Structure 1
Amino acid sequence: MKILAIIPAFNEQDGLKKVAAQFKDIDYVDVLVINDCSKDNTSEIGRILGFNVVDLPCNLGIGGAVQTGYKYAWENGYDIAIQVDGDGQHNPSYIKDLIIPIKEGKADLVIGSRYLKKEGFQSSFMRRVGIFYFSFLINLFEKKKITDPTSGFRACNRKIIEHFSKRYPHDYPEPESIAYLLRNNFNIEEVAVIMNERFGGASSITSFKSVYYMIKVSLAIFIDNLRKIGLT
């Protein structure tokens, strides 16, 4: 099977060096860096490290960068696409665990969850509050327990690659896309992973943006469920 790792990267020149070291022995995965109009040497470092790089002409944000990767995966015939952060939080050694349920036909999307076994870096207290909230919200509306709905460490099959290449949330897309997939009867599973603290760069989610994040995603999930019952 053709497998692509999509790495959205904005000012991640330091993190990419660590990511490259982690991918050293994973030769069954092609790696694509989406340089989201970085102001540092992300693009140059990515190429030096041997990754394929797509340079976006303007900053599209995480959703636009990831969707670019899905468009690339769809157009180039990949069977599985995996999202991997460029800051080194996601350990590629878990890719084999992420893709097993997809290869066995048991799941369309597999999420790497840090909360199934609660080992390794668990994020800040406020982030954990937000994660618990989104987990509750998805379970309330979609009747599916997702322990780590904000995890960007995910693998999906070609059916979802096609969907995401055409439709993908622009801001903070993980919980919103999970709700959309569940509403459309896709199978989602989680596997336990251990995550690291970021190696470099800075998170795009500030305290103010965290509030906006929760309101925006909550409204998106609510509106998506209105569509489900035919009210919009």
Structure 2
Amino acid sequence: MKKLIIIPAYNESEAILSTVETIRREAPDFDYLVVNDCSTDSTKQILEEHHLNFLDLPVNLGIGGAVQTGYMYAYRHGYDMAVQVDGDGQHDPAFLKTMADHLENHHCDMVIGSRFIRKEGFQSSRARRMGIQWFSWLIRVTTGTTITDPTSGLRMVGRKGMELFSKDYPRDYPEPETIVTLLNRNLKIEEIPVIMKERQGGTSSINLKKSVYYMVKVSLAILFERSRKNKC
């Protein structure tokens, strides 16, 4: 089984090297690819100096474009599964083998690492947890499927998911919307418990103003995506 870790990186100079080193140590059976999303700090210099595996985007595409680039690479190079791991050090690669085994043994199309099943480790802020609960409710109402951590970036997909995402992927805040995309096509999604850490460096791109935009945009995107199935 060929397995690829996709690491989207925008201005992650403080954490990117330790993230890759942890991946090499904890997930040696996985290949990895850093997608440098036109960082303006020293991220690219670090990637070059330490001879890390990376693609350098000529313009900033946002998180969606960076992750989609990774899925395109994985699909075209014949990988059997691909997993997104954020470059800020929040995701623990020690869980990747368990996710891969679950994806294969349970014949899933996506496995999500959820911090809310056992509620261990970093649980995010109270405001963000409220937003996560909203998206979980909205997905359950529109699809009938309960996803406890719909904004988790720690997500592994098989070939079907890679093919879909390599062709079409939301530009920003993609996680909840793409869950509905897979469910609309009757693909199988399951969650397993994981422990996440606090951001190891850099700053989050979501501030108060963007949080309002995020809630509205993603909610409308979920409703629109679900309506496409109802019209079919």
TM-score normalised by the chain length of structure 1: 0.97
Alignment correspondent of 2:2: 2
| Deviation for aligned residue 1:48 | 3.6
| Deviation for aligned residue 1:224 | 1.4
Aligned residues of 1:18 and 1:199 also touching (Cα < 8 A): no
Please give the root-mean-square deviation of Cα atoms over the aligned residues, in Å.
1.1
State whether structure 2 residue 181 is matched by structure 1 residue 180.
yes
| Deviation for aligned residue 1:225 | 1.8
Alignment correspondent of 1:24: 24
Alignment correspondent of 2:214: 213
1:7-86 to 2 correspondence within 5 Å?
7-25=7-25, 26-86=27-87
- The amino acid of 2:116's aligned partner reads Y
Aligned partner of residue 14 in structure 1, secondary structure: coil
Distance 1:194 1:49, change over 3 A: farther
Gaps of 5+ in 1: none
Distance 1:58 1:216 in 2: 23
Distance 2:106 2:133 in 1: 28
| Deviation for aligned residue 1:21 | 2.8
State whether structure 2 residue 92 is matched by structure 1 residue 111.
no
Aligned partner of residue 112 in structure 1, secondary structure: strand
Deviation digits for residues 97-127 of structure 1 (CA, Å, limit 9, x no counterpart):
1111221143110000000000000001111
1:65-214 to 2 correspondence within 5 Å?
65-214=66-215
| Deviation for aligned residue 1:23 | 1.4
| Deviation for aligned residue 1:188 | 0.2
Give aligned-pair identity as a percent: 54
Aligned residues of 1:108 and 1:156 also touching (Cα < 8 A): yes
Distance 1:49 1:190 in 2: 34
Single out whichever of 16-25 and 197-206 deviates more from structure 2.
16-25
Aligned partner of residue 139 in structure 1, secondary structure: helix
Moved segments of 4+, more than 6 Å: none
- The amino acid of 1:15's aligned partner reads A
Distance 1:155 1:49 in 2: 26
TM-score normalised by the chain length of structure 2: 0.97
Distance 1:99 1:21 in 2: 20
Alignment correspondent of 1:229: 230
Distance 2:224 2:193 in 1: 30
| Deviation for aligned residue 1:49 | 3.8
| Deviation for aligned residue 1:51 | 2.6
Gaps of 5+ in 2: none
Distance 2:47 2:199 in 1: 17
| Deviation for aligned residue 1:50 | 4.2
Aligned partner of residue 15 in structure 2, secondary structure: helix
